Amino acid sequence: MGEYALEAQGLTKTFGGFNAVTDVNLKVRRGSIHALIGPNGAGKTTCFNLLTKTLTPTSGKVFLDGRDITRLRSAQVARQGLVRSFQISATFPHLTCLENVRVALQSNHGTAYKFWRSLKAVSALNERAHELLGQVGLGHQAHTPATELSYGKKRALEIATTLALDPKVMLLDEPTAGMGHEDIEPITDLIRKVSDGRTILIVEHNLSVVSSLCERITVLQHGEVLCEGAYAEVSNDPEVITAYMGGIDE
Ligand SMILES: Nc1ncnc2c1ncn2[C@@H]1O[C@H](COP(=O)(O)OP(=O)(O)OP(=O)(O)O)[C@@H](O)[C@H]1O
């Protein structure tokens, strides 16, 4: 397998004459946590949508494990192991944690669990769901409805439902957005933990989270790559300081 799990070449998206993303080249090293940052409107969400095929690029290509996935649909991309969290894995509020993870497992292994009446299949599902809840620190809240969880725990549940899809590459869309201080460290630790054996691309506004998690950072501005490098490099780049660091209240 190649060095890069996910790659974008010349990715461009135009909305009615407006270039939201222009000629973005991105290489996400296998096994790494890579951040996509930039000021509001820089094109981060559009990039994520292009990578997961929620949007079709105007031009450019996307490769997963070296395979061209540009023409695949979003569900096919997910089945190939590129899974986005905090969007497709939105949880069902009135189902328990266990039920939420089970639904995700069933959606992934629909055919494997087709014999849902069989006790063996149900217990295999439950076992795997409990295991995933344990991994995200929700082992004791298996029977709690999702709606009763704290904000941070809801995010942990969303991570469990994403893991249920068995992702090789996880795209995390602002995992700490709207979080209180007390939840940020646990969710950062959890992301680090679940990154083991996986590749993660993350859009994140909180730069201390980015600096503690990510080995490589791509900065976007006006839909284009402004610079790329390790946190120390990027955060000292005068253009980034002007374009980005100066524009947010950290
Ligand atoms: N469907 C669309 N139609 C027209 N313009 C769009 C569409 N989606 C995004 N844009 C525009 O493309 C640009 C990039 O938006 P995008 O949401 O990708 O930025 P972002 O970096 O994710 O911003 P934020 O940090 O605010 O979420 C913005 O100017 C936005 O208004």
| Domain extents in the chain | 1-86+169-250, 90-164
Give Cβ neighbours of residue 41 (< 8 Å, ≥ 6 apart). Answer: none
Q: Please check whether residue 147 is in contact with residue 93, taking contact to mean a CB–CB distance below 8 angstroms.
A: yes
Q: Residue 13: how many CB atoms within 10 A of its CB?
A: 22
Question: What pLDDT was estimated at residue 24?
Answer: 98
φ, ψ of residue 122 to 5 degrees: the values are -65, -40
Question: What pLDDT was estimated at residue 245?
Answer: 56
ipTM of the complex: 0.95
pTM: 0.90
CATH topology of domain 1-86+169-250: Rossmann fold (3.40.50)
Query: Counting atoms of ligand 1 from 1, which one is nearest the CA of 38?
Result: 21
Query: Residue 117: is its pLDDT beyond 80?
Result: no
Q: Tell me: the pLDDT tens digits for 35-45?
A: 999 998 999 99
40: Cα separation from own chain's centroid:
18
Q: Which of 26, 37, 44, 46 most suits a substitution to test ligand 1, by most atoms within 8 Å of the C-beta? A: 46
Q: Taking the alpha carbons of 143, 144, 146, 151 in that order, is the dihedral positive or negative?
A: negative
C-alpha of residue 62 to centroid of ligand 1, in Å: 19
Query: Residue 88: is its pLDDT beyond 60?
Result: no
C-alpha of residue 20 to centroid of ligand 1, in Å: 6
C-alpha of residue 44 to centroid of ligand 1, in Å: 8
- Identity (one letter) of the amino acid at 130? H
Q: Determine which residue's CA is closest to atom 4 belonging to ligand 1.
A: 15
- Identity (one letter) of the amino acid at 51? L
DSSP-assigned letter for residue 205: S
